[in-house]
């Protein structure tokens, strides 16, 4: 069995298989999911064209609102790294800024992924030990239902120039901050997941009709580390792949900022702590 399990969304025991995979590796891959595949491709195509123009600078990243465009010159620096990731991205939140011609399809995909996430969170909670669930401040799906903090990140990893600093990654090793991440299949390979017990990096398989799901730090905190937020990265491509762009679209499911994660943290205090570490938060709310 591979480190990250492939789960058929329509299978009778999908909820159990899905949760078991998350428990083992922090990741799971779903096939036969309900997301419109043509919509995914339309969003990829539209945003790829947008990234080829200087129009992308019309919505500069707002670190307080966590929306807008962040270019490679100001991209994230993963915790523990001194070199910025080789990527650019746009954060879309419902009702917030977005290029007019991309708003409709981007929002449709955002809504479909959020709806799917409700089901996945119900699967998870139904398969957790009672002693874990008893500590929740509220049901998992209620933590993100209608949350204005949910973010769709449209990522563009540009072709390599050959001038990249040694040690650069498209995305250096990190864990996600949020509760749950739903990642529509990227346009190219490169995503890897770390298995701590064997000190091994595993390639996550890529198919255009699959969705990758992973645990974020917030859900790890909520479950008192029963579900792991696993380290992952996007490695630098080689050969012909280095000449190609790579598009990727993770939806970050984030609870309301005042949601209690544990006795130590609300989501707002937890997120801001991490944002300061990776250089995205430059001021106080």
In a domain, 284, yes or no: no
Residue 285 has pLDDT above 50, yes or no: no
pLDDT one-digit tens code per residue, 143-188: 999 999 999 999 998 887 777 777 677 777 889 999 999 999 877 7
Residue 55 lies in a domain: yes
The strand pairing partners of 152, in sequence order, are 92, 251
The residues facing 260 across adjacent strands are: 266
Does 283 fall in a domain? Answer: no
CA distance 102 to 187: 19
CA 199 to chain centre: 23
User: What is the percent of the chain with per-residue pLDDT over 70, rounded to a whole number?
Assistant: 93
Q: Is residue 181 part of a domain?
A: yes
Q: For position 172, which CATH number holds?
A: 2.60.120.330
Question: Does some domain include residue 187?
Answer: yes
SS3 224: coil
For residue 285, tell me if it sits in a domain: no
- Of 167 and 210, the structure prediction assigns the larger pLDDT to 210
Are the C-beta atoms of 55 and 99 separated by less than 8 Å? yes
pLDDT score, position 284: 38
pLDDT at 174: 84
How many structural domains comprise the chain? 1
Can you tell me the distance from the alpha carbon of 4 to that of 231, in angstroms, rounded to the nearest whole number? 13
pLDDT digits (tens, 9 = 90+) for 66-123: 899 998 766 666 666 557 777 899 999 999 999 999 999 999 999 999 999 999 999 9
Within a domain: residue 106? yes
Is residue 9 a part of any domain in this protein?
yes
Query: Can you list the positions of beta strands (E) in 48-150?
Result: 68-70, 88-92
Residue pLDDT, tens place only, 34-44? 999 999 999 99
Expressed as residue numbers, the domain containing 87 is: 5-278
């Amino acid at each position: 069995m591979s480190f990250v399990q492939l789960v058929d969304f329509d299978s009778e025991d999908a909820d159990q298989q899905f949760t078991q995979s998350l428990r083992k590796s922090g990741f799971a891959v779903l096939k036969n999911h309900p997301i419109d595949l043509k919509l995914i491709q339309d969003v990829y195509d539209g945003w790829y064209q947008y990234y080829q123009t200087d129009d992308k600078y019309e919505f500069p990243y707002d670190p307080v609102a966590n929306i807008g465009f962040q270019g490679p010159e100001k991209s994230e620096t993963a915790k523990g790294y001194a070199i910025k990731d080789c990527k650019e991205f746009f954060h879309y939140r419902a009702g917030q800024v977005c290029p007019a011609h991309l708003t409709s399809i981007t929002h449709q995909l955002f809504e479909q992924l959020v709806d799917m996430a409700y089901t996945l969170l119900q699967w998870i909670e139904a398969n957790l030990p009672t002693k874990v669930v008893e500590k929740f401040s509220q049901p998992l799906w209620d933590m993100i239902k209608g949350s204005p903090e949910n973010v769709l990140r449209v990522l563009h990893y540009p072709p390599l120039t050959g001038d990249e600093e040694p040690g650069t990654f498209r995305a250096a090793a990190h864990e996600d901050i949020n509760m749950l991440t739903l990642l529509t299949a990227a346009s190219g390979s490169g995503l890897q997941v770390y298995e701590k017990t064997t000190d091994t990096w595993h390639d996550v398989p890529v198919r255009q009709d699959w969705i990758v799901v992973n645990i974020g730090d917030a859900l790890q905190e909520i479950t008192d580390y029963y579900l792991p937020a696993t380290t992952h990265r996007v490695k630098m491509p080689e050969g012909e792949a280095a000449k190609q762009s790579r598009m990727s679209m993770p939806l970050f499911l984030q609870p309301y900022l005042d949601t209690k994660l544990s006795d130590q943290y609300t989501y707002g205090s937890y997120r801001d702590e991490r944002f300061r570490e990776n250089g995205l938060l430059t001021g106080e709310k």
